[in-house]
Amino acid sequence: MHPRPAVDPRTGRRTDGGPEPDRLALLARLQGEFAAAVPDVAPDALVPACGDWRAAELVLHLAGVHHWAAGMAVGDPSRDEDLPAPDLAGPGARHTLAELYARHAADLRATLDAAGPDGAARTLVGDGPASFWWRRQTHETLVHLHDLHAARLASGPDALDAVGVAPEVWGDGVDEVVTVFQPRQVRLGRMAPLTDRIRVVASDLGWSWTIGPAEDRESVPDATLTATAQRLDLLLWGRLTPEEAGAVVGGDRDAARRVLAGPLVP
C-alpha cells in the first residue's frame, strides 16, 4: 500500500509530485469496452439503481455527456444542446446505439488530445484547464460502464467483476466524489450542508477520506464506512447499497445512513 495521491479538484492533477496516470489512454480503453458491450444489451433493459432508466437512455446519456464535455473542454457553448434522438425502431437499434456512442466517444478523445491538459476550459468548479475533463470523463465512463453491465446482467452486484480496472482508479473516483461532487451539490443547493461526519476507507488501498462539514474535517468522525475502493465508489454513486457493497460500518450507523442519503452526486 502507498499513500493516497493528493489531487487538485480544480485541475484533476496531482499536487504531491507523484506520477500522473495516463487518463486519456484509460478513457479510450473504457470507451472501447462500453461501445463493445452496447450490442449485448437490449435497449429496453432496465438499468439497476438508476430509477426507470433503460439501456438505450444510458447509452444516449453518455454519448451526450461526451459531446457536452468536449465543448466544455474547449469553451464551446454550441455543444450545450442535447443530441437529437436517433431512430431506434427495428432490429438494428443496438448497432445504431453503438455507432452513435463510438462516434461521440472518439470526438471527445480527439478534442481532449488537441486541447492538451493546459487548454482553457469551463469546468464544474469554474474556469480551469482541460485536464479537469480528462479525469471527469474517465470516471463518468467508468461508472456508466458498470451500469451497462448491470443492465446486461440485471444486477448491480453481479456486474462487479465485469469492469477490470486497478483499485487506484476506483479510489480516484472516490476522491472525486468527496472533493468535487459533494461540495458542488451543497453549493448548488441540491443537498443541505452535512452535519454528520463520516470517514470512508478503501480497505484494499488503505486510503481514507472524510465527508462532512467542511470546517470540521479533522474532528473525530461519527462513523466509519469501509469497503474496497470499487465498492466504495459505486456506493457513493448510489449504485450499491451498503449491504451490496459489503461495507463495514463502525460508529453511528444513522450518521452513515444520513450522509449516504445526500445526494452526494448529481
> pTM for the full model?
0.96
**In angstroms, rounded to a whole number, what is the distance separating the alpha carbons of residues 197 and 214?**
10
- Are residue 99 and residue 142 in the same domain, yes or no? yes
**Residue range of the domain that includes 65:** 7-165
pLDDT of residue 217: 61
What value does the mean pLDDT take over residues 1-29?
95
User: Is 214's pLDDT higher than 80?
Assistant: no
Among the listed residues 221, 177, 174, 218, the one whose alpha carbon sits nearest the alpha carbon of residue 196: 221
**In angstroms, rounded to a whole number, what is the distance separating the alpha carbons of residues 17 and 116?**
19
Q: Are the C-beta atoms of residues 223 and 198 closer than 8 Å to each other? A: yes
Residue 251: what residue type?
G
pLDDT of residue 215: 65
What value does the mean pLDDT take over residues 100-105?
97
Number of domains the chain contains: 2
- Work out the mean pLDDT of the chain and round it to a whole number: 95
Query: What is the pLDDT confidence band of residue 88, given thresholds at 50, 70 and 90?
Result: confident
User: Is 37's pLDDT higher than 90?
Assistant: yes
Choice between 92 and 17, residue whose per-residue pLDDT is larger = 17
pLDDT of residue 80: 76
**In angstroms, rounded to a whole number, what is the distance separating the alpha carbons of residues 265 and 252?**
22
* Residue 265, in any domain of the structure: no
- Are residue 197 and residue 251 in the same domain, yes or no? yes
**Which CATH number characterizes residue 191's domain?**
3.30.1050.10
pLDDT of residue 216: 65
Choice between 178 and 81, residue whose per-residue pLDDT is larger = 178
Query: For residue 170, what are the contacts with CB-CB under 8 A and spacing of at least 6?
Result: 142, 202, 228, 229, 230, 232, 233
**Which CATH number characterizes residue 97's domain?**
1.20.120
- Are residue 89 and residue 212 in the same domain, yes or no? no
pLDDT of residue 83: 81
- Are residue 150 and residue 185 in the same domain, yes or no? no
Give the count of alpha carbons within 13 A of 122, CB side only: 12
- Are residue 74 and residue 34 in the same domain, yes or no? yes
What value does the mean pLDDT take over residues 12-20?
96
